[in-house]
Amino acid sequence: MSAPPDGPVGSHPADRPGHVRRALTVWLVLSVIFIVIAVALSAAVNPTTASSVAGFATLTNMIFTVLAIPVALFVWVFVFYSLVVFRERRAAGASVADLEDGPPLQASVGVQVAWLGITAALAVFLIGWGMFGFFTETTGASSRPLVVEVTGQQWLWTYRYPSLGGVQSTTLELPVGRPVSFRVTSDDVLHGFAVDALGVLIDANPGQWSTTPTVTPDKTGDFETRCVELCGLYHTYMWSPVKVVSASDFASWVSANGGHMDATATAGA
Amino acid sequence: MSARGSRHLLGVTLALLVAGGVFVLLVLGVRSLGGLGYNPPAAAATTGASVTLSIYPDSMVCHGSTSGAPGGGPHPEWVSYCPSTSLKLPAHTLVTITVKQYDSASGLHNPFFDQVRGTVGGVMYVNGKALKQVTLDAPGHTFTIQTPPDAHETPLFVNVPLPGVADNAPNAVTVAGNQYPKPNVIVFRFRTGAPGTYIWHCYVPCGTGLAGDGLGGQDNFGGPMATTGYMSGTVTVA
């Protein structure tokens, strides 16, 4: 390595030892801080969960965030550390042409193996985690869920319960503890049907029916659907209430809307 | 000033210009949200506990030339509500809406909207006759009010399918120099809730273009169906 133009050999910060240790220390401290912040904010930024699917989605979001923080910080810390510490400074009156390249990078087998090994392990974990989530959502699903037909139209959701005498509503009413599957379509343009509390998200395509995996509401309460695909002038108005109620309240609501309970519900499924 | 100083000054000036442009665009974008789109140029908000609206098969009456004379409007072939799509209604009040429907039937795609919902008694009066529901192919348009997302405690949902006149009905009336068939007169009442801004919309695909046959034949949701001031607007409850 050549000497910096503004001093003797060894006076430049790059020539001093301990850079890796210092950068790793900064990276470790920042990682711990940001992970603590992410975990602490998780409850505030994630939606209320009212199904195991939504709970798994929230957990996945948090785990992926916790894993991503040290990876992202590793890159950023070393980039900014290098920019600050190894920045070549020009002496007074010197021109850019007076600057010389720094020392060439040397390959390190250990660093390369560690980098590839850690990223490969992370990728395999993420794939495995996703497949595990998909497995739990599909294999344990009820074979006879309550089917709700959802139609999106600028700018309103309408719900139809074909097995309950064709009850129709602009409010999504669901019984707690009963598996539900949504068949979703659109009458005009692309919409996006999302119930955050249930972990449901699917496109509503005009002229096509899409079906969600089965989801079971496990908590009574008031929630919301929203359109998550920009669909026109009043896209922001395209929401509807979701009410998860007890089985008896649901039966009363169905009856009040001119329908009747199906055999599956009567059997206590 | 040195060459280096000039470059710095130029850079700062350009950065300020770009930042100012971005700021102006942001302000214009946010302000456009407040108006929720285009309205007829000369129409004031229709106000009161009793409102009369008309639906024409074109936009000659309310969207004519800016001089006030019919014709020459921006989209004379578009169907339109008149005299305004901005309605102002008193809060917690029983209001009466009268709609003169001059247009013919187009039919609904979504059967949810063929039933009268949210009105007093769940009925509308079509030429004096009480009806709770019409066939799927009968409506020329609907008048449907829905609740904004921030009004969970006072939901307001009103849907009235408005039967169209016969396709072969002869022109019998003249409005602002334009010939139309004798309209169906539909009257309905509903009680408003808390103050707020609601939206209303026609749910009969009575517009032009948009989806096309390639997407399940869901056509005619564009044009006046996708532009405020024609088949959609706001209801301000105050």
In chain A, how many domains are there? Answer: 2
pLDDT at B143: 96
Chain B residues within an 8 Å CB radius of A207: 211, 215-218
* pLDDT of B32: 60
pLDDT of residue B187: 96
Q: Where are the domains of chain B?
A: 1-35, 37-237
B227 lies within 8 A of chain A by CB: yes
Domain assignment of residue A117, yes or no: no
Inter-chain CB proximity B211 and A188 less than 8 Å: yes
Cβ contact B149–A188 (<8 Å): no
CA distance A165 to A258: 8
* Residue A130 belongs to a domain: no
Pair A154, A244 in one domain: yes
Two structure tokens written together for B148: 């904004």
Nearest CA distance, B177 vs chain A (angstrom)? 32
DSSP B170: P
The better pLDDT of the pair A83, B72 is held by: A83
In chain A, the residue whose alpha carbon lies closest to the alpha carbon of B112 is: A168
Q: Cβ separation of A206 and B218 shorter than 8 Å?
A: yes
User: Consecutive 10-residue runs of chain B (238 residues): their mean pLDDT?
Assistant: 76 92 85 55 63 91 60 73 88 93 90 92 95 94 85 78 92 89 95 87 84 57 82 87
Burial-class residue A140 by CB neighbours within 10 Å (0-12, 13-18, 19+): exposed
Q: pLDDT band at residue A7, thresholds of 50, 70 and 90?
A: very low
B112 touches chain A (CB under 8 A): yes
Residue among A161, A168, A229, A237 with most chain B CBs within 10 A, to mutate:
A237
- Structure confidence at residue B214 (pLDDT): 47
- Return the pLDDT at A17: 76
Q: How far apart (Å, rounded) are the C-alpha atoms in residues B152 and B209? A: 34
Q: How far is B93 from chain A (nearest CA, A)?
A: 23
**pLDDT score, position A74:** 93
CA dihedral A9, A14, A17, A19 (to 10 degrees): 180
Higher-pLDDT residue of B161 and A144 is: B161
pLDDT, mean over chain A: 86
pLDDT of residue B172: 87
b or e along B40-50 (b: 16 or more beta carbons within 10 Å of the residue's beta carbon)? beebebbeeee
Residues sharing a CB contact under 8 Å with residue A55, sequence separation 6 or more, in sequence order: A49, A199
Residues of A in Cβ contact (< 8 Å) with B154: none
Given the structure tokens 């098969």, which residue do they identify? B57
Residue A82 lies in a domain: yes
What's the count of helices (H) and strands (E) in chain B, helices before strands? 1, 14
In a domain, A106, yes or no: no
Selection from A4, A58, A2, A48 nearest residue A220 by Cα: A48
Sign for the pseudo-dihedral over CA of A196, A198, A199, A204 = negative
Residue A233 lies in a domain: yes
Q: Do B112 and A168 touch (CB under 8 A)?
A: yes
Q: What is the ipTM of this complex?
A: 0.71
Looking at the domain covering B37-237, what would its CATH class be? mainly beta
Residue A1 has pLDDT above 80, yes or no: no
- Residues from chain A that touch B221, judged by Cβ atoms under 8 A, are 154, 187-189
* Strand residue runs (E) in chain B: 46-47, 50-56, 80-82, 86-89, 94-101, 124-126, 129-131, 139-146, 158-163, 171-175, 178-181, 184-191, 196-201, 232-237
CA dihedral sign, ordered A247, A248, A251, A256: negative
* Residue where one domain finishes, among candidates A65, A88, A111: A88
User: HSE (CB half, 13 Å, CA atoms) of B133?
Assistant: 7
| Coil, helix or strand at residue A237 | helix
Query: For the purposes of burial, counting CB atoms within 10 Å of the CB of B68, is it exposed (0-12), middle (13-18) or buried (19 or more)?
Result: exposed
Q: What is the pLDDT of residue B163?
A: 95
Which residues 6+ apart lie within 8 Å of A211 measured at CB? A181, A182, A183, A184
Counting one residue from A and one from B, how many pairs have CB atoms under 8 Å apart? 72
Three-state SS string over A18-33 comes to CHHHHHHHHHHHHHHH
The pLDDT of residue A263:
66
Domain boundary among A50, A71, A88: A88
Residues of A in contact with B155 (CB under 8 A): 241
Binary contact (B199, A232; C-beta < 8 A): no
Q: Which residues of B touch A226 (CB under 8 A)?
A: 149
Q: Do the domain assignments include residue A185?
A: yes
- Residue A228 belongs to domain spanning: 146-266
Residue B21 structure tokens: 């442009």
CB contact under 8 A, B146 and A155: yes
Partner A contacted by B199 (CB < 8 A): yes
Helix (H, G, I), strand (E, B) or coil at B145: strand
Looking at the fold, whether A152 and A253 belong to one and the same domain comes out as: yes
What amino acid occupies position A99?
L
Average pLDDT on A116-130 reads 92
Token code pair at residue B35: 């108006």
Interior angle at CA A20, CA A19 and CA A21, nearest 5? 90
When pLDDT is cut at 50, 70 and 90, the band that residue A261 belongs to is confident
Query: Chain B contacts of A233, Cβ < 8 Å?
Result: 36-37, 226-228, 232
Helix (H) / strand (E) containing A41: helix A19-45
Closest-CA residue of chain A to B36: A233
Question: In the listed set A46, A66, A88, which residue is the last one of a domain according to the structure?
Answer: A88
Q: Cβ contact (<8 Å) for A188 and B221?
A: yes
Which residues of chain A neighbour B148 with C-beta distances below 8 Å?
237
Which of A206, A210, A209, A208 minimizes the C-alpha distance to A188? A206
The CATH number that applies at residue A186 is 2.60.40.420
pLDDT at A243 > cutoff 90: yes
* Cα–Cα distance measured from residue B71 to residue B64, given in angstroms and rounded to the nearest whole number: 5
Chain A partners within 8 Å of B144 (Cβ):
156
Residues in CB range of A226: below 8 A, 6 or more apart: A194, A196, A238, A239, B149
User: Measured between alpha carbons, how far is A54 from A57 in angstroms, rounded to an integer?
Assistant: 5
Contact of B111 with chain A, judged by CB distance below 8 Å, is answered with yes
CA dihedral over A19, A23, A28, A29, signed as positive or negative: positive
- Choose the closest CB to A188 out of B36, B199, B218: B218
Domain-located, residue A111: no
Instruction: Assess B225–A contact: CB distance below 8 Å, yes or no.
Output: yes
Q: Which of B112, B199, B215 sits opposite A158 (nearest CB)?
A: B112
Judge whether A189 lies within some domain: yes
Amino acid at the residue A171: T
Q: Exposed/middle/buried for A217, CB within 10 Å: 0-12, 13-18, 19+?
A: buried
Chain A positions touching B228 (Cβ under 8 A) are: 233
